[in-house]
Amino acid sequence: MGVKKGIYFGTAFSLLVFTMILSISAGAVKIPLQEILNVFLGGGSETSRTIILNLRFPRAIESAIVGMGLSVVGTFFQGLLRNPMADPYVLGVSSGAAFGATIAIILGLGIFGLSFMAFITSLMTVFFVYTISKTGTRVSMTTMLLAGIAISAFMSAIISLMMLLNHDEFSQIVFWTMGGFSLINWNHVAYSTPVILIGSFVMYVFSRDVNAILTGEEVAEHLGVNTELVKKIILITGSLVTATAVSVGGIIGFVGLIVPHISRLIVGPDNRILVPFSAISGAIFLTFADLLARIILKPMEIPIGIITAAFGGPFFLYLLIKSKQKSEGM
Amino acid sequence: MRRFKGLLALLVVFALMFSLAACSTNNATKPQDTSQTATETVKTQFPLKVTDFLGREVTIEKEPQRIVSLAPSTTELIYALGAGNKVVGVTDFDNYPPEVKNVPKVGGFKGPNVEAITAQKPDIIFASTLSGKEQMESLEKMGIPVVMLEAKNIDQIYQSIKIIGQITGTEKKGEEIIKEMQDKIKEINDKVKNLPKVSVFYLVSLDGNWTSGKGTFIDELINLAGGKNVAEDVNGWAQYSVEELVKKNPDVIITSPHAGDVKDIKNMAGYKDTNAVKNDKVFVISNDDIISRASNRIVLGLEEIAKFLHPEAFK
């Protein structure tokens, strides 16, 4: 790694630490710095302790972990599917999760039943899409994209129908699909962190192989890469990470789409460097977005999806315009 | 995926419209002249001119025999006034009184269905701000009078009752209903007004921690029931900060029956530390229609909330 990249990583890492500290210090309730320090030294009032240790702290960690996981998966999916529009939800994880969540809400399964149900149905959806796009031992990426879109459309139709028939649960379903971390506690952190961290690391191990696949599958095979195996591992691990992220924070759009693009602009396309950089950037982005969601209209919170889309939408348009200019220039 | 997001966005817009329309206080929609309604006790003379909640003067040529109601609250009032047998169209959301189940549905989730409405040949339509401006205008062009009702507080429910009473020739019954409501509210308020105020958090939905802030019926009911809404610092329906909830430390938490499992709520980080959970003062309202609809049943909601807040006063 060159000096320049060292500087990028140093800056990104410091920014992450800074964002985490900011996220724990700031919120709807104003707590003086002295009191925050007291809390970490084992003192402080009961209210401050609850707010900082049981609400803000797990929330800051969870948003960082989810942001990291979604960005890593987005980076790999964009590379593997060779499609800049790919995001972690491209294989139907989000509609599958929303479907499970809707069923759980209608059946009144409670908040933990909901997470579990969302997790299971999202993996089932991915498995279905995967099976459809498999011909023999090969997986067609184009079929996969199309199948993902088709099943998403189908499931959202079913979800709308279920909402029509269950007006009372309507707002719950809608707002779950917007995503957010308002009720995150240490239990969520305890189960999601290992899955997302290990999953991201497993994918990272295959960075070099994915680099080769990016230059073309045949080339990669000549270089001795088992492309089908790599694709399968990345798709399955990526969907597992996404499903875990969705089960704790709902469907948070745009993070897994824009963070990889920003990171690619900064450190280039080599996955061995791009992936860890995306991971840190994603953590910063989502922690910061969550902080904004908490404080912009305090004591009201806004769904985090609004914040990420407010950043993501214009940025995406900018990318589109830029790529258009590039092709016109050629 | 994108289509899915688009659909969700649409649903969110609907939901937001709902919460805004159902909850925000907007003085601009107050009826401007209702003095004539209050004084008139003889049988209504037609053609009749009424001023609706948008301040528009609507002329009704003869006493309506076929009524379309596009809001569940209005439907409840029409039935309470005894004109239910004239209702020929309601929305998918209508569920009270029970006999409304047999009335054709002419609108709902996606707004009113103009075709279905005209097929019922109504001679009056009671609409709300949710009913869709364009659809209502096209119905008016066909010569069907549209009266807009949008009560945001209990006083405005009385106005709605007066307007519907006048149009359906049931003003006497309307006065009785208003009197009953006022008596009930006074009876409850007398019991609790000298007791210490209890701080209350109303949980609409655990997912997103949704509450009802200032300007909602729930906020008004909490105040009348001898309480203080801790979320009165937000307007309408809002996602409320859990840390702010911890700081405000409510004495009582009331939840919607659709808010989520009470066990979940009691075990939630932040919630666990409130006085309400510590003292086992988490209550589920029996039916959220009676605390959110602009109908005469709102006094039932008031009574239920008052009993949650001050059980000692109702022994």
Question: What digits encode the pLDDT tens for the residues B67-93?
Answer: 999 999 999 999 999 999 999 999 988
Tell me the average pLDDT of chain B.
85
User: Is the CB of B234 less than 8 angstroms away from the CB of A299?
Assistant: yes
What is the mean pLDDT of the segment spanning B174-186? Answer: 96
Q: Is residue B268 part of a domain?
A: yes
CB B52 within 8 A of CB B149: yes
Cβ-nearest to B208 among A156, A298, A303: A303
What pLDDT does residue B158 have? Answer: 96
Domain containing B292: what range? Answer: 193-314
Cβ-nearest to A175 among B108, B207, B261: B207
Chain A residue numbers with beta carbons less than 8 Å from the beta carbon of B2 are 149
What pLDDT does residue B37 have? Answer: 46
> Consecutive 10-residue runs of chain A (330 residues): their mean pLDDT?
82 95 92 90 89 93 96 92 83 85 82 81 87 81 86 87 75 73 88 94 93 87 88 88 87 89 88 95 95 90 86 74 67
User: Is the CB of B93 less than 8 angstroms away from the CB of A183?
Assistant: no
Residue carrying structure tokens 């969601």? A293
Helix (H, G, I), strand (E, B) or coil at B132: coil
Q: Amino acid identity, residue A243?
A: A
- Residue percentage of chain B with pLDDT more than 70: 85
CATH number for the domain harbouring residue B175: 3.40.50.1980
What ipTM was predicted for this assembly?
A: 0.79
Identify which has the larger pLDDT, B231 or B263: B231
- CA A216/CA A229 separation, integer angstroms: 15
pTM of the predicted model over 0.90: no
Q: Is residue B4 part of a domain?
A: no
Q: Is residue B24 part of a domain?
A: no
**Same-domain pairing of B87 and B139:** yes
Question: How many domains does chain B divide into?
Answer: 2
What pLDDT does residue B5 have? Answer: 52
**Same-domain pairing of B148 and B222:** no
**Same-domain pairing of B156 and B203:** no
Read off φ and ψ for residue A205, nearest 5 degrees.
Answer: -55, -30
**Same-domain pairing of B148 and B114:** yes
**Same-domain pairing of B148 and B233:** no
**Same-domain pairing of B215 and B81:** no
What pLDDT does residue A87 have? Answer: 86
What pLDDT does residue A282 have? Answer: 95
Lowest mean pLDDT among A62-76, A99-113, B214-228, B242-256: A99-113
**Same-domain pairing of B40 and B174:** yes
**Peptide bond before B97: cis, by omega within 30 degrees of 0?**
yes
**Same-domain pairing of B143 and B252:** no
What is the mean pLDDT of the segment spanning B52-69? Answer: 90
What pLDDT does residue B28 have? Answer: 41
Q: Tell me which of B105, B241, B275 to substitute to probe the interface with A (most A C-beta atoms closer than 10 Å).
A: B241
Identify which has the larger pLDDT, A15 or B111: A15
Q: Is residue B33 part of a domain?
A: yes
Identify which has the larger pLDDT, B307 or B259: B307
A220 to A201, A227, A268: CA distances (angstroms): 21, 7, 20
**Same-domain pairing of B225 and B140:** no
Q: Is residue B234 part of a domain?
A: yes
Residues of B (117-176) whose Cβ lies below 8 Å from A: none
Q: Is residue B22 part of a domain?
A: no
Question: Per-residue pLDDT for B127 more than 70?
Answer: yes
